[in-house]
A and B are shown apart, each in its own frame.
Chain A
Amino acid sequence: EIVMTQSPATLSVSPGERATLSCRASQSVSSNLAWFQQKPGQAPRLLIHVASTRATDVPARFGGSGSGTEFTLTISGLQSEDVAVYYCQQYSRWPFSFGPGTKVDIK
């Protein structure tokens, strides 16, 4: 099973500043990686797939990068509505595993 880890666990960012979230896989997943945003009481929302492709209607301030075992989600210019937990997930090999999440809040 591929184990996904995320850092940091919590990230506090001032409005308008950049947030950088990291995700690491225990073995290569190529570019088979997605990022999800989950706000309290809501279902997850796909932000990024194939490591760097924004999903439909996702604002351009969300960007993904990386391949293999190291991935990054960048939120350029954090807005109040971006407060959420962000999860990475690999779909390279089943079982498809999620990271533990990074909670982003406003400083």
Chain B
Amino acid sequence: QVKLVESGGGVVQPGRSLRLSCTASAFTFSNFAMHWVRQAPGKGLEWVAVTSFDASDKYYADFVQGRFTISRDNSKNTVFLQMNTLRIEDTAVYYCARSHLVYYGMDVWGQGTTVTVSS
């Protein structure tokens, strides 16, 4: 069964860092672009970042402002989101999702991991 499982969420103080992971199974991970999308409590979906299948292309939402870095380890079927200088407004459920190409629809999603930024 094709699956994505996120981990690494938690409660963190403003200004601190957190690294999220997303591990894939039952498909050839290295053939797919991978995205991070977030959803603040009671709000809509917000795209965060994408990496191409080989990490040669990476794009970010404007609000990231150099604070987040997406990376991947194809040998471990895992994509990461390193989040630095976290703000209260970064509080959200963070989903990873795959797409066949960077410029394509996200067809498989994980269940999400919750990040709470609070003092």
Residues of chain A with a CB closer than 8 A to B97's CB? 44
Q: Which of A32, A49, A85 has the most CB of B within 10 A?
A: A49
A:63-83 near B, CB below 8 Å: none
The main secondary structure of chain A at its interface with chain B is loop
Residue B45, interface by CB 8 Å: yes
Q: Report the separation of the CA atoms of residues A94 and B99 in the bound assembly, to the nearest whole angstrom.
A: 14
A49 adjacent to B60 (CB under 8 Å) = no
Residues of chain A with a CB closer than 8 A to B41's CB? none
B interface footprint on A83-106 (CB within 8 Å = 1, 0 otherwise): 001010101101111111100000
How many chain A residues touch B (CB < 8 A): the figure is 26
Residue B46, interface by CB 8 Å: yes
Q: Report the separation of the CA atoms of residues A23 and B44 in the bound assembly, to the nearest whole angstrom.
A: 15
B47 adjacent to A95 (CB under 8 Å) = yes
Q: Which of B105, B106, B107 has the most CB of A within 10 A?
A: B105
A34 adjacent to B106 (CB under 8 Å) = yes
B107 adjacent to A95 (CB under 8 Å) = no
B interface footprint on A33-65 (CB within 8 Å = 1, 0 otherwise): 010101000011110011000011000000000
With beta carbons under 8 angstroms apart, the residue of A38, A46, A95 that contacts B105 is A46
The main secondary structure of chain B at its interface with chain A is strand
B44 adjacent to A49 (CB under 8 Å) = no
Q: Report the separation of the CA atoms of residues A101 and B44 in the bound assembly, to the nearest whole angstrom.
A: 7
Output the least CB separation between B62 and chain A (Å): 6
B105 to chain A: closest residue by CB: A49
Output the least CB separation between A66 and chain B (Å): 15
A98 adjacent to B107 (CB under 8 Å) = no
| A residues lining the B interface (CB < 8 Å) | 1, 32, 34, 36, 38, 43-46, 49-50, 55-56, 85, 87, 89, 91-92, 94-101
